[in-house]
Structure 1
């Protein structure tokens, strides 16, 4: 810090310490009053790629085919599912679920029309006189067989062995929500075009959507809680699980709340214990602890005031902020104690002012490097990661400012006392790192090179493919429900194939691009998707009239068109990764069962005479006659360990175009699986861009700070190794890149480089006093080395606390980052000084006035 700034700081801050503290506390109290308004977000947009055009197409398809949100209840009784007592229990469960608010309908095996129990003719179908389990007209044994073999119901309403069934609780489509989404998207498009006033209108539209989303979530919480109470009431020896997008959304926010509490309280407790062990002084426990708490309250209050919402990704925000704030405080405290021990006669003003003056520059640069690391996350293209990056960027600045205001001002209110911790403490345990560096320099270099090679091998094996179900513990309802639906009821995540009417059905077009159009959408990843698409809205209303004559005019609604769809249907059904497939081919197969061989005229007559209840099941979800578009809906087995989403999408498109002869432009692939895949595939690019930006920015800062290219490169080396180690371990251990783990390497470099900055900065200031590199290394290890060690221990154990999370990516994030920070510490304490000793970047040694490096050993 320059003499002018130091003098100004003393006059404005230190000399008026009580008033500075009063002003800060008033500001923090104002922001803290907004803490009850802090909101959490687990909306669909939190799991998709920012600006992904596939999302717009996905919403268009959802609107066109009128899909609804839903809850799924899986029911596996101890006895025979089709026994009268079990069907009676199922009926009561259905009725209780139907009484929930905003439920439009509950679909179950009790209510669906049965065409083979006993077999019915076309006249029975068109008259609406169709057997169901509920109306008592169905033969139970025949129904059991029909549910096991029916192209509509098998692996959809019942498991293949007939032991498990699903109840789909359809929720009323929230038209207001989609209207607000459309309004927001329209304003966003205008804003991108630079329309006057569009930015303000976009902010207003986004605020309306955010406010309504909070209302929707409150209603979902109440609905899910009520559904859980109902399910629990019927879980008397029977196996019941609740699933569906609303439940996953509610549970993920509960995880965020839990993680915030666990991480915050756990790390605070750890901080207290560690400070007591390190300093054994009440003031050095309370002052840093108070500073950490005030920083967290300031930032959380600011987020609440700005209505900036936390997500699953930013659940680590509190833990990270506590760790970073404490690290700055540790460096300040250690330096203050060193100066006090060196000059016990100095006044409190001199001690505090000298501490701030000496630590300002390295702390500012370490904060800048950390800031750059978090700011680099904004290139990820994933909204929650972008928000997390900006939150932590602001948090780092706040932590730095408050640390240089709160701690010094509090010290000014206290009387100076005798301190221990001088730089020449010969018994300092950190000096053993210096001994190891001197005696085992060559092995350290060899180990570093080997780790770099192994890391390179591991990085080459990094992958993004993962199982969404593995994000949750096996004992959670999300995991168990998804597993049951996936294994017993036809798959978890939805995928739609949209076929446009081809000008030439046998034309083959060669794709210009590998995907040929947008792979479209996963907004709510992990959902047991598209049961609603498979059933539509109506099972209980057997009125006549059909859905109009428009379907019969479609070229898809001909024998030739049906057979083309059936080709695609059968191919998709043959894939090992797919579960239930539904399309117009199902209707065609049923008509053949009922009528035998059918022609175009019979298809048209059958469709015109079918009741609305049948049309809504077999035709409406799979045909948009107005634009002559067919939809094939399938669900993919998300729990499959062999699932390669990106390869599956490529394979499907390639087969439809090259083998079945569809033109590239006539095939669109959309669904939750596609949106999720788009996000995952962006992670490789994001990781490269993120790390590149971080290393370039940090190297530039090193050049400015150290004014030496060789010293800048030396300081960067251990952090490159630490980042390589964490990515290499991920690759070798098979830990995939996801929204959480993508941030590890950048954060590792941004935080780990702090040690290198502090060490090199101290080395540069100590070297002129002795002119001897080895002696300077020992002195640095005995002084700044202690602060580096303390802060690293805090960071390692602090991140390890994330292992208590309910969210598996958070566990990976915590443990891997802790391991990387340990590697960064060892690199800065051994590899970095060894490189300095080898390269001698500060020039040749000279005879100085320092004592022998071995004094006191």
Structure 2
């Protein structure tokens, strides 16, 4: 079938070329519609519970993604607390507030917050901490003293050692962070800020990665293509012939990316790597075909007949290697991560496109080359061959394969030993990811991350929401208490009171607003009613109703309760003192600060009030500040939910997981007040969630793909023994690579997880070609050793050339500034090299034990000796 298809394509090559050009033109025309998405939140589906909760909490407390700007002066004895640095800080703050995309109202800086200071007992002055650029060192010292007295600012807006000032820049949208960061740098240069300026934070890391990711694609993909081209040119000695797989790869990449973009999918971090993944996959099969064609074609030969013979022999291996690769990536569609699903689905589509082009375009292209060109290629190839008609590479492979057969015990023993070591290494693998670590260590964002997290409490954020439950039951309890009061009134002759109460209830309490807000409206209505009453007995019943309403209002305002705030403060203290986080800020800290200034201003009064009324008084005082809206970052207006803002000096998933476990342990030993439930939110926590789901999903995908490929191998070779044999290079390659990864301490992250699927397709590729060609050779020779010698010549050369083309071709990725590209380059080269070595050494060694077990031809004849 392969031969007939090749001849048909050669005879109708113009139609083949026209169809391919049409496909590339139509799909490629969709690429300008590209939309980029670098938000890790979108690694989770829109309806994923943790993501929905995260978004609800952000909305509930008006939280925004923030860039962290750090101004560092380690030279001046006063650090940043000198007139020049504070003046620059003031001017830079004003400039940042003017940048489009920055939420000025919520920006945090020493030049944008209040100094909380007692004016007299019971009275607080809320003056700007830095009302203008200070002109003297004395003024700068006063600012420093004020910051050190305000725990909410120390470690957040100024480092404890005084060497750094921080500006937390809230953004309207994450996707403007790279632009905003550049405008902040430009503003600092325009102002003439002499201190070191560092900018970091998860939003800017993610957005900057997106920008540089596409810049890197424009460099790495063409560079890898150039190296692949040069390596193939070295092997095949013909520019026109080598152009074929390069054109095939370009057509595959353009068509796949065009379809992805044209169907409305955004280009995520994962899908941006599709060209890098597809290039080796698209080239692999065509190199096998061209390698066999180059070895068989003789000057003056019939290219049509030679190509037909090659395709007849390679049709099945090419088909099944493509299908196994497609299955490996299609398995990613069953993961719970949408961008990974898109990545897997479109890679599978690209693999099938490459398969179709290999079976049609390559024969048509080879058949269209002038005979003079093919003859020159054949002459050059012949010139590189020795007297035995075998190149030095092929001679070395033949000798190596025969040596492996003779040293089968040593080869298999080494594989077993390596497998044992690999299993140990796999058990050492740590699951961890952090968008900031997607950059090399010397990248400005990585440097800023290190510098600022050494000085501040942390540039990574997580939020813990405490929510009072049972609010609805409180409303029902009020209804019951009021019912008893109105029943008494009716017995006393005030029947209309009950009807009027029910009307007020319907008007003010029924509805979807928070119960506290509804009860406040009801209390006002009752007060208005009392103002019009002249009958003291009737008024007494209304006063009892008002007392019942006010009591329930107090009960619903859970986080004005000192007991609940004390529990929050205890949790914060536990997390900070045990080193789980850098700092925590909550309503409890705000209340303690205000309470201190209301009473005496002394450290001894930095504590929570004893009564809800005292808490309410402190919060009422804060409403006179320049930023009263900051209160709602920590508590909802009805005081039924509170937010603890945690700053972490590390965004690694492992560190976030330790914080979650520390909170769980504290809650187990110190249960929260009755009716209080805890929920997590924040970008650092969401990264932890999607990483966990990715690991589980990838493991399931890997195992399911492994089983499917095994079944396909058994079906292809119609032999359980050969099916298991074909899986040997795949199994050992995956185990060894992941074992080494665990031994050297490489974290299991997003690129590594996705590369698992690539290893399935590419690792089994060589085994399929080796076994299929061995069966064909054995059918011709009828003797095992002769068949092995034949396979170790041309087919083994093709396998080795293929491995070298891809392994060497993707080494340029190691010079990329983005770690995921380095990971891809390392893994691709390792997968190709290791699976080729195992195929060419391990398979002959294993088969040599009992050839008859694997090949029926050996059982029917002699040749097993």
* Secondary structure of residue in 1 paired with 2:841: helix
Report the counterpart of residue 670 of structure 2 in structure 1: 659
Work out whether residues 113 and 128 of structure 2, in 8 Å CA contact, stay in contact via their aligned partners in 1. no
Match of 1:356 among 290, 308, 311: 311
Report the counterpart of residue 158 of structure 1 in structure 2: 158
Structure 2 distance, partners of 1:252, 1:131, is 36
Match of 2:729 among 708, 718, 722: 718
Distance 1:325 1:467, change over 3 A: closer
Most deviating of 810-819 and 51-60: 810-819
Q: CA deviation at 1:636?
A: 1.6
Report the counterpart of residue 765 of structure 2 in structure 1: 754
Where does the alignment leave 5 or more consecutive residues of structure 1 unmatched?
A: 175-215, 505-548
Match of 2:615 among 603, 618, 621: 603
Report the counterpart of residue 113 of structure 1 in structure 2: 114
Match of 1:54 among 35, 50, 53: 50
Structure 2 distance, partners of 1:222, 1:622, is 29
Report the counterpart of residue 439 of structure 2 in structure 1: 472
Q: CA deviation at 1:30?
A: 2.7
Matches within 5 A, 1:84-99: 84-99=83-98
Work out whether residues 726 and 745 of structure 1, in 8 Å CA contact, stay in contact via their aligned partners in 2. no
Work out whether residues 385 and 739 of structure 1, in 8 Å CA contact, stay in contact via their aligned partners in 2. no
Most deviating of 427-436 and 443-452: 427-436
Structure 1 distance, partners of 2:767, 2:198, is 52
Q: CA deviation at 1:271?
A: 1.6
Report the counterpart of residue 31 of structure 1 in structure 2: 27
Distance 1:52 1:394, change over 3 A: same
Structure 2 distance, partners of 1:68, 1:661, is 27
Match of 2:276 among 308, 319, 332: 319
Work out whether residues 43 and 337 of structure 2, in 8 Å CA contact, stay in contact via their aligned partners in 1. yes
Structure 2 distance, partners of 1:825, 1:292, is 22
Correspondence 1:843 to 2:798: no
Report the counterpart of residue 70 of structure 1 in structure 2: 66
Work out whether residues 86 and 133 of structure 2, in 8 Å CA contact, stay in contact via their aligned partners in 1. no
Report the counterpart of residue 809 of structure 1 in structure 2: 820
Structure 1 distance, partners of 2:841, 2:434, is 39
Structure 1 distance, partners of 2:756, 2:196, is 42
1:345-392: CA deviation from partner (whole Å, max 9, x where unpaired): 753332222222222211010001111111122233223222221121
Q: CA deviation at 1:602?
A: 3.2
1:88-143: CA deviation from partner (whole Å, max 9, x where unpaired): 22222122222212333243212322235xx5346542x64566443979954243
* Secondary structure of residue in 2 paired with 1:73: strand
Structure 2 distance, partners of 1:130, 1:426, is 84
Work out whether residues 41 and 687 of structure 2, in 8 Å CA contact, stay in contact via their aligned partners in 1. no
Work out whether residues 437 and 819 of structure 2, in 8 Å CA contact, stay in contact via their aligned partners in 1. yes
Q: CA deviation at 1:795?
A: 2.1
Q: CA deviation at 1:235?
A: 6.5
Matches within 5 A, 1:525-544: none
Most deviating of 597-606 and 396-405: 597-606
Correspondence 1:626 to 2:677: no
* Secondary structure of residue in 2 paired with 1:430: helix
Structure 2 distance, partners of 1:640, 1:743, is 19
* Secondary structure of residue in 1 paired with 2:855: coil
Matches within 5 A, 1:678-827: 678-827=689-838
TM-score (norm 1): 0.82
Q: CA deviation at 1:662?
A: 4.8
Structure 2 distance, partners of 1:774, 1:232, is 74
Distance 1:780 1:10, change over 3 A: same
Work out whether residues 115 and 146 of structure 2, in 8 Å CA contact, stay in contact via their aligned partners in 1. yes
Report the counterpart of residue 460 of structure 1 in structure 2: 427
Distance 1:569 1:400, change over 3 A: same
Q: CA deviation at 1:579?
A: 1.3
Match of 1:45 among 41, 46, 49: 41
* Secondary structure of residue in 2 paired with 1:491: coil
Structure 1 distance, partners of 2:217, 2:735, is 29
Work out whether residues 104 and 170 of structure 1, in 8 Å CA contact, stay in contact via their aligned partners in 2. yes
Matches within 5 A, 1:138-217: 140-171=140-171, 173=172, 217=175
Structure 2 distance, partners of 1:745, 1:398, is 21
1:476-514: CA deviation from partner (whole Å, max 9, x where unpaired): 23212222332222112222222223779xxxxxxxxxx
Distance 1:661 1:304, change over 3 A: closer
* Secondary structure of residue in 2 paired with 1:613: coil
Distance 1:762 1:727, change over 3 A: same
Correspondence 1:410 to 2:365: yes
Work out whether residues 584 and 618 of structure 1, in 8 Å CA contact, stay in contact via their aligned partners in 2. no
1:264-288: CA deviation from partner (whole Å, max 9, x where unpaired): 1111210221022101122222222
Most deviating of 490-499 and 43-52: 43-52
Correspondence 1:591 to 2:588: no
Q: CA deviation at 1:14?
A: 2.5
Match of 1:636 among 648, 668, 674: 648
Higher CA-based Rg: 2
Work out whether residues 634 and 643 of structure 2, in 8 Å CA contact, stay in contact via their aligned partners in 1. yes
* Stretches (4+) displaced over 6 A: 135-138, 421-424, 549-553, 846-850
Correspondence 1:382 to 2:337: yes
Matches within 5 A, 1:375-454: 375-416=330-371, 417-418=374-375, 419=378, 420=381, 425-427=389-391, 428=394, 429-454=396-421
Structure 1 distance, partners of 2:129, 2:182, is 35
1:53-104: CA deviation from partner (whole Å, max 9, x where unpaired): 1110111111111113333321113534222222222222122222212333
Structure 1 distance, partners of 2:192, 2:652, is 28
Work out whether residues 319 and 798 of structure 1, in 8 Å CA contact, stay in contact via their aligned partners in 2. no
Structure 1 distance, partners of 2:252, 2:554, is 63
Structure 2 distance, partners of 1:785, 1:835, is 17
Alpha-carbon RMSD across the aligned residues, in angstroms, is 3.1
Matches within 5 A, 1:205-284: 217=175, 222-233=179-190, 237-284=194-241
- Tell me how many residue pairs correspond in the alignment: 755
Q: CA deviation at 1:407?
A: 1.7
Q: CA deviation at 1:331?
A: 0.9
Most deviating of 592-601 and 780-789: 592-601
Structure 1 distance, partners of 2:835, 2:749, is 23
Structure 2 distance, partners of 1:500, 1:304, is 42
Structure 1 distance, partners of 2:5, 2:462, is 64
1:630-668: CA deviation from partner (whole Å, max 9, x where unpaired): 221111221689x54323312212212332445697222
Q: CA deviation at 1:393?
A: 0.7
Distance 1:718 1:588, change over 3 A: same
Distance 1:816 1:268, change over 3 A: closer
Bigger proportion of residues as helix: 2
1:591-616: CA deviation from partner (whole Å, max 9, x where unpaired): 34221564423332332343353673
Report the counterpart of residue 544 of structure 2 in structure 1: none
Structure 1 distance, partners of 2:818, 2:127, is 50
Work out whether residues 50 and 383 of structure 1, in 8 Å CA contact, stay in contact via their aligned partners in 2. no
* Secondary structure of residue in 2 paired with 1:161: coil
Structure 2 distance, partners of 1:557, 1:805, is 54
Structure 1 distance, partners of 2:5, 2:728, is 37
Structure 2 distance, partners of 1:247, 1:675, is 17
1:723-781: CA deviation from partner (whole Å, max 9, x where unpaired): 10011111111111111101233311211110000010000011022222122111101
